[in-house]
Chains A and B, each alone.
Chain A
């Protein structure tokens, strides 16, 4: 991962498979967020803002410690707060870091019609390429977590990059580094999964949280950002974390016919190529090109 370039696994709006995929060994990265040790300090919010050089926007106090209601095109990392009263009458202040989940099967990428505007690297990071973004906002409808946000000034969509610039250079994302309590961890997916499961087991066995568990939703093939929750049966309590996130059916519906059309075009192209070959034979390079 120390090269300045990253290998791509999926490309948005792109007919056909991704060239070269699966030829190199590469591990998948993952961010682990342990909500049970999160203190809602927002260091990750500031670290994100600072590292990515994002502009400031005006906020107002709205009966919560939460900085703003949702992430914004220039605010990619937001702690969601919830005063949660449990059945036994005790209070919990639930705090969850909200940001792009870097889904294994990204709904944004599936929905995006612009060729190359969203890519998924082999390491799992889902990255927006604003050069190719046409600002249609379809990615926003494709995301089950309400993450990509449209910038009216740039007319493009933005979201957390998992600090791909840092990760490419062998550094952890800015939010991970800042986290004072270590409720954020970063590593390979299997390692993070193991760490999360062991923490959840500790919460169940030692801390009295019988329903503690790991959030790595299967409906989208798992995510490259996973959570440990005190109560895995109620992710909604954590600032509206969806119980069973899926790519919206609308996206599937319109993408499926399109794919068929695309595939038909590819087959037609193939037939054309074969036909051309049969008709004209192979195209030989000019003689002078053989020797430099």
Chain B
């Protein structure tokens, strides 16, 4: 925490004392307050990722979006224009700054091999390639073109996809497209539970 939060105009104060006994002084005493930390920050309008009220939030980032400035979140506040939340936020929404800046975030792809007792790093390239091969193998092993009655079913029984609560509509659509085309039926989402 910064201790010298404000500059106090000490000289004015001390200078004023000598004449104050005369009753008044025409030079009022002021205290300077800290400047607003978001006064020149960039604003991005977003939506809170938590509950289904979908409050509008403004994410304040350092820098004016100039090319050389790497944006860093300095503050998140409710969007006063948003008709539902009108600038308000709950304790989860109010802590979003710490969700974005969080030092617990996952930063690298990792793999846990069979029998391993820890993670190891893996490149994106390697991870994609291994996952694709596994998806194909499992699909091949569990794909059913016809059921016992000879009816066309074209489904993959060995793969499940589970989607999360904050996945966007567009992401979910991409999931439906790709997973249904692989024949996936075990397609579920936080929406169920």
Q: Does B69 contact A (CB under 8 A)?
A: no
Scan B26-43; emit 1 where CB is below 8 A from any A CB, else 0.
111111111111010000
The smallest beta-carbon distance between B99 and chain A, in angstroms, is 11
Taking CB atoms, residues of chain A closer than 8 Å to B88 are: 43, 177-180, 182
In the complex, are the beta carbons of A116 and B8 less than 8 A apart? yes
Scan B76-115; emit 1 where CB is below 8 A from any A CB, else 0.
1110100001011111011101100000000000000000
Q: Does B119 contact A (CB under 8 A)?
A: no
The smallest beta-carbon distance between A184 and chain B, in angstroms, is 9
Q: Does A210 contact B (CB under 8 A)?
A: no
- Between-chain CB contacts (< 8 Å), 12 pairs: A6-B31, A7-B28, A19-B16, A21-B28, A47-B94, A50-B97, A115-B13, A129-B8, A154-B3, A156-B3, A177-B88, A178-B78
- How many interface residues does chain A have, given as a range? 35 or more
Q: Which chain A residue has the least Cβ–Cβ distance from B7? A: A131
Q: For A43, give its contact among B37, B39, B89 (CB under 8 Å).
A: B89
Taking CB atoms, residues of chain B closer than 8 Å to A182 are: 88
Taking CB atoms, residues of chain A closer than 8 Å to B6 are: 127, 129-131
Q: For B28, give its contact among A23, A51, A54, A168 (CB under 8 Å).
A: A23
Q: Does A69 contact B (CB under 8 A)?
A: no
Scan A150-186; emit 1 where CB is below 8 A from any B CB, else 0.
0100101000000011101101001001111010000
Taking CB atoms, residues of chain A closer than 8 Å to B95 are: 46, 50
Q: Does B155 contact A (CB under 8 A)?
A: no
Taking CB atoms, residues of chain B closer than 8 Å to A53 are: 1-2, 37
Q: What residues make up the interface of A, taking CB atoms closer than 8 Å to B?
A: 4-8, 11, 14-24, 41-43, 45-47, 50-51, 53-55, 74, 115-116, 119, 121, 127, 129-132, 151, 154, 156, 164-166, 168-169, 171, 174, 177-180, 182, 266, 269-270
**Chain B contact residues: helix, strand, loop or mixed:** loop
Contacts A20-B25, A51-B75, A165-B35; A6 near B5 (Cβ below 8 A): no
Taking CB atoms, residues of chain B closer than 8 Å to A269 are: 21
- How many interface residues does chain B have, given as a range? 35 or more
In the complex, are the beta carbons of A168 and B17 less than 8 A apart? no
The smallest beta-carbon distance between B100 and chain A, in angstroms, is 12
Q: What residues make up the interface of B, taking CB atoms closer than 8 Å to A?
A: 1-8, 10, 12-13, 16-17, 19-21, 23-37, 39, 75-78, 80, 85, 87-91, 93-95, 97-98
